[in-house]
Chain A
Amino acid sequence: MSLGAGPGPSIGPGPAPLPAGRREPARAGNPRPRRLKAETLVFVLPAFLLVSVFLLYPVVKSLLLSLYSNEDGKSFVGLANFAALFRGRDIVNLRNILRLRPPFGALPNNLIWIAIHLPLSMSLGLACALLMIRLPRLAFLRTFVFVGMLVPGVVTGIVTLFLFEKGAGMIPNLFHLIGIEGLYINWFSHPQTALLALILTSVWTWTGYSMVVFLAALSGIPQSYLEAGIVDGANAWQLFRYVKLPLLRSSIGTIVVMSVIQELTGFDLVYSSTYGGPGGASNVMGFQMYLEAFKYFKFGTGSAIATLITLTAAVPIVLNVRNSARQA
């Protein structure tokens, strides 16, 4: 399916489901009755009940909880929980932002995460895809990049520690080797570098995702398009810019949406490596939400953060839907 295609059922092969209340044109030998069969209920009820109770209801309930007080969860406080988020220092630390000195707070950290992680993992994934698609006999090399996708977040956290520790880590030693002693440090013990270490490791795990999506899209481009470009005298760059790239637009939309959701909800990696530290320098929204809700049991505050995460994640989704609607 494609998140980019909008919330319509118009995706994929086969006939699109008809809107309720209109009769399907009669097929030979198969007039489908507009009547709910008992069998249909047996098929859909287990899934629909589970989704309604444990997914749909919680979403609505979280939204409501964010408007109620932390103490009893019963007194309505309006947007006070949200206001409190922005008054505190954990979510947005305005003073430190103005002085450009971390910790900046969880929300700016997430935005920094997106600003670095998204372009880096996507362009690396695209570069890998463009390269690997020309090497069909070396397809096994693709798996080396893709394998990062299999790594659980908590292990990514351990890898971060192991890569960025001053003694045992490859990265600080690499900087030592090329003479940049300023980065020959424990990256995760300094507020200036802790977040960056986490972001870079998560680029390592996530690049494989955009690579396989781009690979699938690239292999779907008809050879004749490329040949037409070559006949017209296009060089490699022009072929990429004017033939391939326009055809990758929907893949780019998909990757942006999926990446931003992953970047905003990330939690495991932080939990198992820095625990948000030092001093909150690598704190993120998902982690702060966990602390508020399940360490301090402030359900109002926790729900407010969750709502904030969801609203932020909705931005690229809405933009993507509008974009593909305009294209269509």
Chain B
Amino acid sequence: MTRERPALAAARVLAAAAIALAWILPFVGIVMGSLRPYGEIVNGWWRTEELHLSLENYAFVLGGTSIPMLRALWNSFFSSILGAAFPALFGSMAAYALARHWIPLKGPTIAVLLSLMAIPGQMIAIPAFKLLNSLGLLDRFASVILMNTVTALPWIIFFMLNVIKGQDLNIEEAAKIDGASDYWIYARVVMPQSYPSLLSVGILQFVWSWDSFFWPLVCLFDVRKLMATQVVPMLRGQFIQNWGALCAASVLVVSVPVILFVAFQKYYIAGSVGFISDK
């Protein structure tokens, strides 16, 4: 391509930097709000005539209120691990069978799964709530883990189906000739090959479970069982416009997905692009 004028290139860099700055500013504000005393931020966190930083707000929301966040963060953490592991396991198993085995009505089944991906959560909320109630699962972590699992299964099956179909059949056939069972082929041949995709699925689904709010709100009531996302609006109800507490709680809830994203950026992006487009 032709060489560009340096002025144009510089303008481009400036524009990109300005966009990035604009996008990150609300985060900066929340972090500042969480670190500074109320009096310093009510008239704008960007004013720095006085600047005192402390972690008091964090200590307060983690353990100082009637709904301590420390416990909620732990609840969210292990529920999200399970809420990602179950659909990744069941979804990849189903995807393997759909890709490699004969199944009656395979085409229609895949079509149904595909349309279920687009079903709004509201459309299943009431009957699923009644089901969970009659199964005695309300106010148990199992309810949220279960709902995060089932709502994730369609996209994970679909995602993994495309991944597995793209894999080389020869290794699997060689294993079959050597007398390997389907279970062995799934666990030792197919899954190791699709490990990067499985990681994408797991990380994306962990973040979605972590961020989910509707199912926890509907299913969990006991203050000791609340998820982190549930505590945020509760703090808002209790300490209306106590910016320090609200900002600290927000930073805590966001920090886990952000840390995961930074650590596994490549996989995260691959997942979020892959599950809706052909990449």
Contacts and interface: CB of A to CB of B under 8 A. Distances in A.
Interface string A15-54: 1011110000000011011111101101110111011011
A272 interface: yes
Interface stretch (B49-57, B60-68, B158-166): B158-166
A43 B97 contact: yes
Interface residues of B, number: 120
A19 B167 CA distance: 21
Interface string A196-219: 000001001001010011001100
Contact of A306 (B126, B253, B258): B126
A247 to B, nearest CB: 13
Interface stretch (A75-83, A93-101, A251-259): A251-259
A155 B232 contact: yes
A57 B107 CA distance: 20
B26 A204 contact: yes
Given A150-B257, A154-B233, A268-B214, A12 B13 contact: no
B213 interface: yes
A13 B162 contact: yes
Given A7-B115, A257-B118, A230 B2 contact: yes
29 contacts: A12-B166, A14-B165, A15-B165, A17-B106, A33-B102, A36-B103, A37-B101, A40-B101, A40-B102, A44-B103, A51-B154, A55-B151, A58-B124, A131-B19, A145-B20, A152-B232, A153-B211, A154-B213, A154-B233, A155-B232, A157-B233, A162-B247, A170-B44, A173-B44, A212-B272, A216-B277, A267-B122, A302-B126, A314-B118
Contacts, number: 349
A62 interface: yes
B216 to A, nearest CB: 10
Contacts of B104: 20, 36
B273 A213 contact: yes
Interface string B253-272: 11001100110010001001
Contact of B278 (A2, A32, A34): A2
Given A153-B213, A293-B125, A168 B162 contact: no
Interface of A: 1-3, 5, 7-9, 11-15, 17-20, 29-30, 32-37, 39-40, 42-44, 46-48, 50-51, 53-59, 61-62, 65, 128, 131-132, 134-135, 138, 141, 143-155, 157-159, 161-163, 165, 167-168, 170, 173, 201, 204, 207, 209, 212-213, 216-217, 220, 226-227, 230, 250-251, 254, 257-258, 261, 264-265, 267-268, 271-272, 285-286, 289-290, 293-294, 299, 302-303, 305-307, 309-310, 313-314, 317
Contacts of A258: 276
Given A46-B93, A47-B94, A135 B12 contact: yes
Contacts of B106: 9, 17-20
9 closest A-B pairs (Cβ-Cβ)? A14-B165, A12-B162, A43-B97, A13-B166, A58-B127, A58-B124, A152-B211, A61-B127, A47-B94
